[in-house]
Amino acid sequence: MNNIKYFLLFIFSATSAFAQYQMTSDLSGALQFPSASDFKEANAIPNLGGYQINIDTTPSVNNYDATETKKISTFIARNADLNMGASTSGGWANAAATKGCWQASKGGWSCYYVNNYDLTDDTQAASLGINYAVALANTDTYGVPITQQLYNNKIDLSPYAGRRVKIAYSFYAKKIYDGSTTLALATLGTSATNLTHIKSWNSQLVLNSWVKLEDTIYYTVPARTDGAVQRIGFVSTKAENGSVALANFSFQVFEDVDYSVPKNTSWTDGEFKVLDADGNLIYWVSTQWGAQMGGEYESNPATDLNAKIFYTSPDNEANGSGKGREWIEYVHNSTNARTIYEHAKQITGSANPTISGIVIQPDWSNGDVKSAFKNGKSFIYLKCSPTSIEKTKDGLSVWRTVVPQPIQ
């Protein structure tokens, strides 16, 4: 059904024996609108003339009011060293040091233990692609700044203080301390002497076994009055030779921001008008009864109130197989069928029905109607949705011209 093309179809003929006609299929299965002669034959239309006009009602951008807000993730920062310094300049040796973009403090309220973790004979690590790891333990997991721990010295979240960011992380962790152990990914807290856990793990850690911890989470960066940098790093439970081993740390930060994009409008109704050489309106059919035109539709002398209107909706399949290809006669009322769209909601049961084709049959028994088409110089149509009409970005109505095809 991807190659189905929908049309707003106006047929001008002498009869209304229309409801029996169904759209046909070519060999590829694509729906085809009937030609003027096919349509006449299928509906037993006498050779009294009339016209057929095909109008494309495929959903399209309405330049005037067709923007909608979506979100896009903008990149903020990432950890550039998956090994967290363990493969830089000989790695960690349980001493304060800077290893590329990773830094560790020792003594006092800082890292109690930070060292390269020995992967000799660690077959599980080899199978997971772990070549370097860091063994870590801290004196405290809450009461000290992150800049006194094992942290990335390049990432700074302070410009986003008070804002919600999206964090995607993935790494391996291995519990190496036989006791209650907490591991936390953290940043600065609201004061200079504390930190805030971005995410913490306890029961997820397995003694002497690597586990993969990964997720995408939202985090509100703490607001600081002192403008301090907001580094990110790890803290873990105090233990003599480390409580946790860490490896392959992937960390990215994004912020979701709003942006406007063109919005497709589903056209459900239409206005059709014929103008004379001086631009005067001499024929008018509105499937919305002129609701968006600001004129008195029923009292306008150009209005053809006896025109027959039909439409198709794929949502009518709910009423039986093949019903989505059958034409439905639109019967207007001023309560719940003021438009084709409202009528289709009643017929199909859909809360938001698609209108795939519209047919208008003027009252060809009316001499004034025939005269209008004889003297008409401009045949124009306007696409309508339940709430708007097609407009330019400057708010001008987009009236499109069509060339009537005579029914022979």
Task: Considering only CA atoms, give the Rg of the chain.
Answer: 35
- Tokens 């550039």, located at residue: 80
Widest CA span in the chain: 102
Interacting residues of 26 by C-beta distance below 8 A, sequence separation 6+ = 32
DSSP secondary structure, 56-79, as one string:
E---EE-TTT-EEEEEEEEEEEE-
Query: 25 forms bridges with which residues in the sheet?
Result: 31
**Beta strands in 241-334, from DSSP E residues, in sequence order:** 244-262, 264-265, 269-275, 281-286, 308-312, 328-329
Kindly state the helix (H) or strand (E) to which residue 135 belongs, with its residue range. strand 134-138
Give me 331's structure tokens. 């019967």
The pLDDT value given to residue 198: 94
Distance CA 211, CA 103 (A): 24
Query: 253 forms bridges with which residues in the sheet?
Result: 77, 167
The pLDDT value given to residue 336: 92
CA-closest candidate to residue 223, choices 187, 184, 181:
187
Question: Tens place of pLDDT for every residue, the chain, 408 residues?
Answer: 343 333 344 433 333 333 333 333 333 333 344 454 544 444 443 344 566 566 666 677 776 665 667 777 889 999 999 999 999 999 999 999 999 999 998 877 789 999 999 999 999 999 999 999 999 998 876 666 666 789 999 999 999 999 999 999 999 999 999 999 999 999 877 666 678 899 999 999 999 999 999 999 999 998 877 778 889 999 999 999 999 999 999 999 999 887 766 677 889 999 999 999 888 999 999 999 988 876 689 999 999 999 888 888 999 999 999 999 888 899 999 899 999 999 999 999 999 999 988 888 888 888 898 888 888 888 898 889 888 888 887 788 889 887 766 655
Distance CA 134, CA 113 (A): 10
Kindly state the helix (H) or strand (E) to which residue 124 belongs, with its residue range. helix 123-128
Query: 321 forms bridges with which residues in the sheet?
Result: none
3-class state of residue 128 by DSSP:
helix
Distance CA 69, CA 168 (A): 24
Report whether 107 contacts 155 (CB < 8 A). Answer: no
Give me 383's structure tokens. 């696409």
Interacting residues of 272 by C-beta distance below 8 A, sequence separation 6+ = 10, 53, 283, 284, 285, 286, 360, 379, 380, 381
Interacting residues of 79 by C-beta distance below 8 A, sequence separation 6+ = 101, 152, 155, 249, 250, 251, 252
Report whether 288 contacts 295 (CB < 8 A). Answer: no
Distance CA 284, CA 368 (A): 12
CA-closest candidate to residue 101, choices 152, 64, 136:
152
- Tokens 């990964």, located at residue: 214
- Domains of the chain by range and CATH? 7-66+263-406 (no CATH), 75-259 (2.60.120)
CA-closest candidate to residue 353, choices 264, 269, 251:
269
CA distances from 119 to 86, 123, 139, 200, 246 (A): 12, 8, 25, 24, 11
**Beta strands in 13-116, from DSSP E residues, in sequence order:** 24-25, 31-32, 51-56, 60-61, 67-78, 97-99, 102-104, 111-116
The pLDDT value given to residue 348: 95
Distance CA 399, CA 94 (A): 77
Give me 351's structure tokens. 């809360």
Residue 156 C-alpha from the chain's centroid: 31
